[in-house]
């Protein structure tokens, strides 16, 4: 059963683009705080027409700016950008750039390698032109595996 699970294509279990949280890179603080109040993340695209993925913004990104400096743990690499969250803030100032992506025709084996290698929980699904078409998450993988176990699709 596990071998069959690894062969499943991303396109067969991903959340389609119309149901994938995204936001434009030049969106302001009201938009990104609104979207993050409903979901833990949003894929950042250059604009809603082209839908080229440029980053991701998460609850953790916001927490780096609202936790007072003296309460933050020491960071291993990089620096915290102090005083960057303000009324004129836009998504591209706060987002994480160049997220790891996957293609529709990749297998769950490919996805699992990326998730474990980069210690992430979700991947945007993109076209070869880097256009956002959906997402796949650890939750998708767990639900699919659960379905296989419950419906007796075991070896």
- pLDDT of 65 > 80? The answer is no
Measured distance CA(81)–CA(74) in Å, rounded: 13
Quick one: pLDDT band at residue 69, thresholds 50, 70, 90?
low
Please report the pLDDT score of residue 77 as a whole number: 46
Please report the pLDDT score of residue 5 as a whole number: 85
Task: Outline where the chain has alpha helix (H).
Answer: 2-7, 29-36, 59-66, 91-94, 108-118, 138-150
Average pLDDT over residues 44-51: 97
Tell me the average pLDDT of the chain.
85
Please report the pLDDT score of residue 155 as a whole number: 40
Contacts of 135-144 with C-beta under 8 Å, sequence gap 24+, read 135/14, 135/15, 135/20, 135/43, 136/10, 136/13, 136/14, 136/15, 136/102, 136/111, 137/15, 140/13, 140/14, 140/15, 141/13, 141/108, 141/111, 141/112, 143/13, 144/5, 144/8, 144/13, 144/108
Neighbour order of strands in the sheet with 53-58: 22-24, 41-45, 53-58, 96-97
pLDDT in tens, 70-112: 555 554 444 555 455 566 788 998 899 999 999 999 999 999 9
């Amino acid at each position: 059963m596990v071998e069959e699970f690894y062969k499943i294509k991303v396109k067969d279990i991903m959340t389609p683009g119309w149901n994938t949280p995204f936001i434009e890179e030049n969106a302001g603080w009201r938009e990104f705080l609104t979207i993050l109040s409903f979901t833990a993340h949003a894929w950042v695209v250059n604009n809603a027409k082209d839908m080229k993925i440029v980053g991701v913004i998460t609850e953790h990104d916001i927490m780096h700016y609202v936790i007072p400096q003296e309460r933050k743990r020491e960071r291993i690499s990089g620096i915290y950008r102090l005083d960057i969250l303000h009324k004129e803030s836009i998504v591209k100032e706060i987002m994480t750039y160049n997220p790891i992506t996957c293609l529709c025709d990749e297998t769950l084996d490919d996805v699992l390698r990326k998730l474990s290698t980069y210690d992430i929980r979700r991947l945007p699904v993109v076209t070869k032109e880097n256009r956002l078409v959906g997402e796949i998450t650890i939750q998708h993988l767990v639900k699919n595996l659960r379905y296989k176990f419950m419906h007796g699709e075991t070896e």
